[in-house]
Structure 1
């Protein structure tokens, strides 16, 4: 039995669930933070020590962090990104009080090059972590296929599916990112870790077309040219990391196994 205690935030999300599964394989004591009064039913997370706390409201954090060696921070809300920075600040403050040795943060490839509000907030979070005085590791990953799947499901309600022209994307499976996060958490603080991307880069329009075929939706993809700095950044491939294709699960693999 490993005598370390790992705390996972965002443990009920797409990535957090995978982190819990992988963390349990290490022999560490695995703790997770939840806002719910009753422990969530997360498949594969049996044996998790669930602690009640709220990062945004800054409640329950001191109790949750007692005895914790390493935090893996997966909590984020793209729908309410204004909460992310205060939540991280509260977490880091509590981690300092608790004597946490190492905070591992998940971020996104391109946060420093793509002018989107959510990305600017993620970049500010990286900077906050680096200035925290704690041991820290930051991992940037490319987009999860589940995110792309959800976006395409919404767009497929239209007569045609609009998709950005000339924009490369590099889907990576969250289980593989989770494996890297846990490996980093068990090591020494590394600062900015190498990016983590999927095995293949696809034009967004081709990715959408393959999704439509796999889901048997009789729709046509409508390529759109996005103007301005954002469009330029996306067409330049700033969402991808061609030199770090560390994942092995392809977009086709995902489409083959996705729930129908």
Structure 2
């Protein structure tokens, strides 16, 4: 059993990882920017650097799930330095496939965060994952409100089940620090028109789809597939079709 500090523990990924770690007998602390009632919560802000020394005091490992396109590198650097000073033996961080290649703010913020972690001196592991099924749903399903749906054929994703990413992270926390490990992507590469049509079919919607070209550097990057996993990546097993079947049959709780 280990003592683990989790950032982003109440987010989508965190809600899957935290029960797994608790089920393994680990003692968890969940970092929150605002004070919360309940056992296990500690107040702290990674970007501001507030409360981190207290949050990491006495923990064996840190699982860093929180992040955004603004301040992610600063927050990760602050957390890593606090972990190093506090004698934390392992910091595990989630990142994104294409962090160093995609010309999008969120990706580049993750690249800088990875660099800050590597430079901190704390023993670490980084897992780059593809976009979650939920992310693809949230990106594409609102487009189906339009009578004619733009379908950007250049965009291809390898959506991954959030539970499979959570299970991999739980294993990594229990393992020794390994630097950057093999990326984790879904079992299939799917383009945006196919995903849009699958969502429409699952909901019984009849829509017209208009092919569109994604311009600029972002369009070129997607057409070149630089957001896709390398041959060395590991792959989950849950498909986009399986996700949609469950998603439509079991509506998400607001």
- The TM-score, its normalising length taken from structure 1, stands at 0.90
Are the aligned partners of 1:209 and 1:220 in contact in 2 as well (CA < 8 Å)?
no
- What residue is the counterpart of 2:16 in the other structure? 18
Give yes or no for the alignment of 1:76 onto 2:67: yes
SS of equivalent to 1:107: strand
Are the aligned partners of 1:108 and 1:140 in contact in 2 as well (CA < 8 Å)?
yes
- CA distance in structure 2 between the partners assigned to 1:152 and 1:217 by the alignment: 14
- CA distance in structure 1 between the partners assigned to 2:164 and 2:132 by the alignment: 10
**How many Å apart are 1:193 and its aligned residue?**
0.4
**How many Å apart are 1:224 and its aligned residue?**
1.5
SS of equivalent to 1:19: helix
**How many Å apart are 1:76 and its aligned residue?**
1.4
Are the aligned partners of 1:31 and 1:49 in contact in 2 as well (CA < 8 Å)?
yes
- CA distance in structure 2 between the partners assigned to 1:82 and 1:53 by the alignment: 17
- What residue is the counterpart of 1:117 in the other structure? 105
SS of equivalent to 1:82: coil
With 228-237 and 120-129 compared, the bigger mean Cα shift is at 228-237
Are the aligned partners of 1:142 and 1:198 in contact in 2 as well (CA < 8 Å)?
yes
- The TM-score, its normalising length taken from structure 2, stands at 0.92
- CA distance in structure 1 between the partners assigned to 2:234 and 2:187 by the alignment: 5
How many pairs were matched up? 248
- What residue is the counterpart of 1:208 in the other structure? 196
**How many Å apart are 1:159 and its aligned residue?**
2.4
Cα deviations by residue, 1:159-217 (Å, 9 ceiling, x for unpaired): 22223213321110111101111111111111110000011111221011101111223
How do residues 86-165 of structure 1 correspond to structure 2 at under 5 angstroms? 86-165=74-153
- What residue is the counterpart of 1:50 in the other structure? 41
User: Which of 249, 252, 256 in structure 1 is aligned with 2:238?
Assistant: 249
- CA distance in structure 2 between the partners assigned to 1:38 and 1:71 by the alignment: 19
Superposed CA RMSD in Å reads 1.6
- CA distance in structure 1 between the partners assigned to 2:37 and 2:194 by the alignment: 41
Q: Runs ≥4 in structure 1, deviation > 4 angstroms?
A: none
- What residue is the counterpart of 1:234 in the other structure? 222
Are the aligned partners of 2:185 and 2:236 in contact in 1 as well (CA < 8 Å)?
yes
> Please, which runs of 5 or more residues in structure 1 have no aligned partner?
41-47
**How many Å apart are 1:242 and its aligned residue?**
5.7
- CA distance in structure 2 between the partners assigned to 1:70 and 1:163 by the alignment: 43
- CA distance in structure 2 between the partners assigned to 1:138 and 1:222 by the alignment: 39
Cα deviations by residue, 1:25-58 (Å, 9 ceiling, x for unpaired): 2211121111232247xxxxxxx61112122222
Are the aligned partners of 2:43 and 2:51 in contact in 1 as well (CA < 8 Å)?
yes
Give yes or no for the alignment of 1:185 onto 2:173: yes
Are the aligned partners of 1:200 and 1:245 in contact in 2 as well (CA < 8 Å)?
no
Are the aligned partners of 2:156 and 2:222 in contact in 1 as well (CA < 8 Å)?
yes
**How many Å apart are 1:249 and its aligned residue?**
1.1
- CA distance in structure 2 between the partners assigned to 1:179 and 1:249 by the alignment: 13
